[in-house]
Amino acid sequence: MPDDPRGFQTRALHAAPRGASLGGGLELSTTFRWDDVDHGASFAAEVAPPRFYRRLGAPNAASLEARVAALEGAERAVAVGSGMAACTLALMAALPEGGHVVCARTVYGEVSNFLRGLAPRMGITASVAEGWEVDDFARAMRPETRAVFVECPANPTLDLVDLVAVSSLARSRGALTLVDATLATPYNCRPIELGCDVVVHSATKYLGGHSDAMGGVIAGSAGFVEAAWHLLRVLGPVMSPFDAWLIDRGVRTLGLRMARINESAERVAAFLDAHPGVESVRYPSLPGHPAHAWARAQHRGFGGLLSVVPRGGVEGARRFVESLSLFALATSLGGVESLAQFPASMARLSDEDRARLGIPAAMVRLSVGCEDADDLVDDLARALSGS
């Protein structure tokens, strides 16, 4: 319901269809009984019917879809098996054979792999905007450009784009703007309200919020979501009912969690920015962030992800992450527990790729959770002091 006047947390709790149970029932069926032939035929004619066959739709997925659509201000949403599935299906739905996409410089690595490897087999080509200004995207566009794809904020560099300007540019060239808003969440930023066309989420992260479920969501116009669903029914990256139930439960507390995470992450960023043992910090609330003005204009808050470069080079960064106690050394982000990741220890990016993307070798990525901010700051202080 794009025009729903209710507050965010009210929509998070009440946007989905009402059920007999306030907790929402877990429905595991793959196949459903109909009252008669006409009843079955009515489901067969629907997009993502909740009670026809689970690969096409399911009750728990339908509840999650309604909730996310309401929070994003979208006409409709569809749930899929992972965030990566959401990205690829959205790109395929946006791009005809022979179509071209302009991609932001930093997006999820597997999205880059898809655009370099599989997409060309479908007759889809891609170019990368070399910077974050709207002019960088304009220079990368071609007559056959049909989509612009950005991750905002970008992971792990925390770069941002002016979504109003980029979506206006894309619209003037006959292209759709697709935004991976996983880090922002609809609590902090709603790209559709800023002129963008499609939002994708790795629901594994903040939407689910408890590091126990995997999924993705695509939100946008009813027509676009229908096109994405037709790809889903053919390719089959279905979200399981249990994951849908867990993520739907997580979305109901999204506003509460994000308010806490925003506040704690700002405090952590300010602490690190002032610490003599830190070389640099990237977080949009800091005045020194290159897109600070855009962030303030487009976001209610700035989320839980930040990057920090401790002094002492790569070995100093390694000592830092291994000295943390409350920040678990683990991949992923967006859960209630705080996490730390050391990208230099991950084999997927070469030194050249990291330099091109602006990821220092000694950078540490922190995902701030819902612990008490005082305790998180104390943990970071101990790790930086080497004690």
Q: Which residues are catalytic?
A: 55, 108, 180, 205
Of 292, 85, 279, whose CA–CA distance to 180 is shortest?
85
Amino acid type, 84:
M
Structure tokens at 43: 């489901």
CA angle at 158 for the pair 153 and 164, rounded to the nearest 5°: 35
Spatial separation of the C-alpha atoms in residues 164 and 154, rounded to whole Å: 17
Structure tokens at 203: 């629901």
